[in-house]
Amino acid sequence: MVAQQDALLAQMRRGTLQYCVLSLLANEERYGFDLVRGLAEMDGMVTSEGTIYPLLSRLRRDGLVESTWQESPAGPPRRYYRLTDSGRAALEGFRLEWRRFRDAVDHFVERTET
């Protein structure tokens, strides 16, 4: 049962992680390290930091984020990510669906809590 639950959690995390990344970029540009640390602040969201990069690469290829090089106050230039218009639309769409889904699950799960 525990193994099953772990697998379920991993699946849920996998499915929602990209929207958490898009959300972090909703109001500001961020560079990779900053983004990864932002996600890692929430317990349980990221198990190993490096696995975010394949996701970022995928989001960029799908045109949901774009990256630009910017000078850093200290050290070499940084690659900053920001949302594209279609990234913003994808995030909006997910928000609506997520609320509906969350409310529906809450409706059953919370009611039968003992």
Partner 1 sequence: MSSTADKLIDDYLKRLNRELAGFPRARRRELVDEISEHIAEARADLESENEAAIRTLLDRLGDPEDIAAEARERFGARSKGSGWDVVALIMLLVGGVILPVIGWIIGVVLLWVSETWTTREKLVGSRPGASRCSSTQSATRRVMRCGRRGSTTRSRVRRSSFREPRRAHGLHGSCHAHCRRRSAVSHRPEERPVAHRRSTIS
Q: Which of 42, 74, 96, 109 binds partner 1 (CB under 8 A)?
A: 74
Nearest approach, Cβ of residue 84 and partner 1 (Å): 18
Distance of CA 4 to the CA centre of its chain: 23
54-73 residues in contact with partner 1 (CB under 8 A) are 54-58
Site string for partner 1, 77-96 (x = CB under 8 A): -xx-----------------
Nearest to 16 by CA among 49, 57, 55, 62: 55
Examine residue 44 and tell whether it contacts partner 1 (CB under 8 A). Answer: no
d(Cα 93, Cα 22) in Å, to the nearest integer?
12
36 binds partner 1 (CB under 8 A): yes
Bridge partners, residue 79, by sequence: 69
| CB crowding 39-56: b at 16 or more within 10 Å, else e | beeeeeebeeeeebeebb
Determine if 29 is a binding residue for partner 1 (CB under 8 A).
Answer: no
Residues that bind partner 1 (CB under 8 A): 14, 31-33, 36, 40, 47-51, 53-58, 74-76, 78-79
